[in-house]
Structure 1
Amino acid sequence: MYRWPTVNYKEEGMREGMQIEDSQISIDDKVELLDALSETGLKQIVVGSFVSPKWTPQMERIDEIVTRFTPKPGVTYTALALNSRGVERAKAYSPPLTIERDQFPRLGVHMCDVFVRRNTNRSQAQEMERWPQVVAQAQELNIKEAGIGTNASWGSNFLGEFPVDDLMTMLERQHSMWDEVGIKVASASMGDPMSHCTPAKVEESVYRVKEKWPEINNIRLHLHNGRNMAIASAYAAMRVLGPEDTLDIDGTIGGYGGCPYCGNGRATGMAPSEDILHMMEDMGIETGVDIDKLIECVWMAEKVMGRELYGHVSKAGPRPKSVSSLYNIDMPFVETLEQAKHFKVGPSAYEGGIYPYREPITSEYRDRVDQGKPAYDPAGGEWPWKQDWFPAKD
């Protein structure tokens, strides 16, 4: 039995998702979606970003969204701000926004010099030039704990794959700067804007960080899903970490989102929130999120976008576990995605479907389940192990 880390989940659909969508999506639709997300049990929601509308016109009217949505107590709402001007704009709306400050002063760098030039108009060398200043400021403020981090951690669409050895060397250089001034490193972050994460690489990276620096008990992962590896990679990280650790991860409802700088556009995507949270609940990690309400948000977003999004639980439904959620065993064929919505909208979804059976479907196994019994008795029990028709007996 695994003892899982504490997992903090952040919903990024209103920012990572919307920033690559049509800039003409109405403010009414965005506010309605944000309000619906607030009712799901999510604890952290990013509402958008305070950035230049010249480059991100989708965020031009972020001020209207922030003033019109209905904050829900217990939910932390944040917004991305990339510079001091953006921070000042965000402060005008605090509350309801929480001005997000990293718990730790952090040294960070992109492993891909090309991506950071395309994304921020700076070079990798310019990023690293700031490291001494960050360390000096932390000393002046008598900071006791700090962080290290990389972005484009495992590979780049412009430079190829980066071995984990390279990532570790970069983190070691950062760690040594904190060591020199006696500030403990308690957090390590790894980002993946170009979808180069794999479960093997993420597992190795997190394992090696924990092996080399056991005192690091906060791991932050920002994983894009262009190659469908984000959920498996997050799971790999969870397996490495223990109950003394905290894992910060994020995703978007429906898995939508994208990056105009990496070359994959909307195909970049993120882990669909409904899928990864459904997985976590099955693992015994309490999320506090109502998956049914989250699915409603996905369907709402699909209506706004005018297309299907990329998640799976929103299409097939959560795994039915209670008797009341089990499927009708005598239903007709279910072939289309619309018919598959019967898990939520009921039998009307498949009404009129092909019914090929001469007699209604019945099953003694289902009868047992409907009576509150397990489908199978434990080993040594009666059903089905000791029935006359069972071919092999003890």
Structure 2
Amino acid sequence: MSRRDNPTVVVVEEGMREGMQIESADIPVDAKIELLDALSATGLRHIVVGSFVSPKWVPQMARIEEVIAGFTPREGVTYTALALNARGVERRAEHTPPLSPPDGIGRSMIHLCDVFVQRNSARSTADERTALPDIVAAAVARGVREATVAVNAAWGSNWLGTFTQEERIAALAEQRDEWAAAGVPTTGVYLGDPMSFNTPGDVAAMVAWVRDHWPEVRTVHLHLHDGRGAALTSAWAALRELGPEHTLVIDASIGGMGGCPYCGNGRATKMIPTEDLVEMLRGEGIDTGIDLDALIEAAHLAEKVVGHELYGRVSKAGPRPGPDRLYPMDMPLVETIDSAQHFRLGPGVYAGNPAPWKKPITSEARDAVEREIS
């Protein structure tokens, strides 16, 4: 279904958590703090700073307390961290603030892949289902008034193959019924895809089903991995299924870095590069309030921090130039990624490149554009 009126789009930056957890454990704390501060200065409003997990199994997060103690929080930015067990929740609470307090929404999750959840959290899908009543009861005791239900490995698993929409619906409905029995309405749906099984058609169909069958759900949250190259297109397909009454939350990661060490694909799993997502949204007329130029600089900083090239495209080719940032018509040939950085570093990066034009290039159409903006 195609709609002209777009939903509100919220971009959640996962580079410091999803990205760093798959990068080297030797990255210095100071470098992580520098990147987190750079991300905070881009206009991003939601940043996940890391996770409180066992340093034995995720050594990249061993010094998360030092990162939190060292960065400079920005007013208006929500900073969160992942916690997978009671001890992690306690550690997170010790750093709130600067981490943001809980939002008061109850949450539950069922993994469709029983293999992945055991590899990732030493629990089974059956354990998750058994725990549902206690999760709901504890949330009600805290005073929650609405809930988000989640399904992870929603579209498929490297160990079990592709899952059906009926399986996704059943897992979500089971949780929704549990919350409803406790008098708590479900207002949000989270769809996670750690193993990159998403396709635009399947994602759009799932979002459309939620829209049509559960009108009380106003927020859809997508965590899509990009190991097979479809994540950004899948996010766009989801966007087209929602209207202005909805909020679409999209997780992304600076440079596209990311991946779960338990899913079998490592860094190849990747995520939607934040800079690519923001540029796409801008092209669709959706203002995120994020400074794309600052985000691109953060992407290049991220490459220095992790020590290798990342996966974003906009940081390499630049955003589509607007009327006031058109390329010079007489610029020489540009072949390398380094030379292509003229959009941010200036013409010095292509100095000396061949320019075979025998006479200056002129264009009445370009003259008209420049008259219009002057």
TM class, shorter-chain normalised?
A: over 0.9
* Aligned residue number for residue 361 of structure 2: 361
The number of aligned residues is 372
Find the aligned partners of 2:142 and 2:347 in 1 and give their Cα distance: 63
Shift of 1:8: 1.5
Equivalent residue of 1:200, what SS?
helix
Superposed CA deviations along residues 101-153 of structure 1, whole A, max 9, x for unmatched, are 36432332000000001000111100100112233345555644323220000
Contact 1:19 1:257 in 2 (8 A): yes
Please give the residue correspondences for 1:171-190 in structure 2 after superposition, counting only pairs within 5 Å: 171-190=172-191
Find the aligned partners of 1:72 and 1:144 in 2 and give their Cα distance: 29
Larger Rg: 1
Instruction: Flag the structure with more relative contact order, 1 or 2, with Cα contacts below 8 A and sequence separation at least 6.
Output: 2
| Structure 1 pair 181–304 and aligned structure 2 pair: CA distance change class (3 A) | closer
Equivalent residue of 2:263, what SS?
coil
Equivalent residue of 2:267, what SS?
coil
Which amino acid in 1 is paired with 2:250? I
TM-score of the superposed pair, with normalisation by structure 1: 0.91
Which amino acid in 2 is paired with 1:46? V
Find the aligned partners of 1:258 and 1:13 in 2 and give their Cα distance: 10
TM-score of the superposed pair, with normalisation by structure 2: 0.95
Equivalent residue of 1:133, what SS?
helix
* Aligned residue number for residue 285 of structure 2: 284
Segments ≥4 residues shifted beyond 6 Å? none
Contact 2:104 2:144 in 1 (8 A): no
* Aligned residue number for residue 113 of structure 2: 112
Find the aligned partners of 2:143 and 2:49 in 1 and give their Cα distance: 33
Contact 2:154 2:193 in 1 (8 A): yes
Contact 1:217 1:245 in 2 (8 A): yes
Find the aligned partners of 1:346 and 1:136 in 2 and give their Cα distance: 59
Contact 2:323 2:373 in 1 (8 A): no
* Aligned residue number for residue 306 of structure 2: 305
Equivalent residue of 1:188, what SS?
strand
Correspondence 1:204 to 2:173: no
Where do 5+ consecutive residues of structure 1 fail to align?
375-394
Please give the residue correspondences for 1:159-170 in structure 2 after superposition, counting only pairs within 5 Å: 159-170=160-171
* Aligned residue number for residue 49 of structure 1: 51
Find the aligned partners of 1:36 and 1:181 in 2 and give their Cα distance: 43
Please give the residue correspondences for 1:232-381 in structure 2 after superposition, counting only pairs within 5 Å: 232-323=233-324, 325-372=325-372
Correspondence 1:78 to 2:80: yes
Find the aligned partners of 2:140 and 2:78 in 1 and give their Cα distance: 29
Where do 5+ consecutive residues of structure 2 fail to align?
none
Equivalent residue of 2:372, what SS?
coil
Superposed CA deviations along residues 177-196 of structure 1, whole A, max 9, x for unmatched, are 33444432211111101111
- Aligned-residue identity in percent: 54
* Aligned residue number for residue 22 of structure 1: 24
| Structure 1 pair 293–150 and aligned structure 2 pair: CA distance change class (3 A) | same
Contact 1:104 1:187 in 2 (8 A): no
Find the aligned partners of 1:181 and 1:90 in 2 and give their Cα distance: 27
* Aligned residue number for residue 133 of structure 1: 134
Superposed CA deviations along residues 343-370 of structure 1, whole A, max 9, x for unmatched, are 1111101110011121121111111112
| Structure 1 pair 251–161 and aligned structure 2 pair: CA distance change class (3 A) | same
Cα RMSD for the two superposed structures: 1.7
Which amino acid in 1 is paired with 2:75? P
| Structure 1 pair 176–255 and aligned structure 2 pair: CA distance change class (3 A) | same
Superposed CA deviations along residues 66-86 of structure 1, whole A, max 9, x for unmatched, are 111111111111111212212
Find the aligned partners of 1:177 and 1:32 in 2 and give their Cα distance: 43
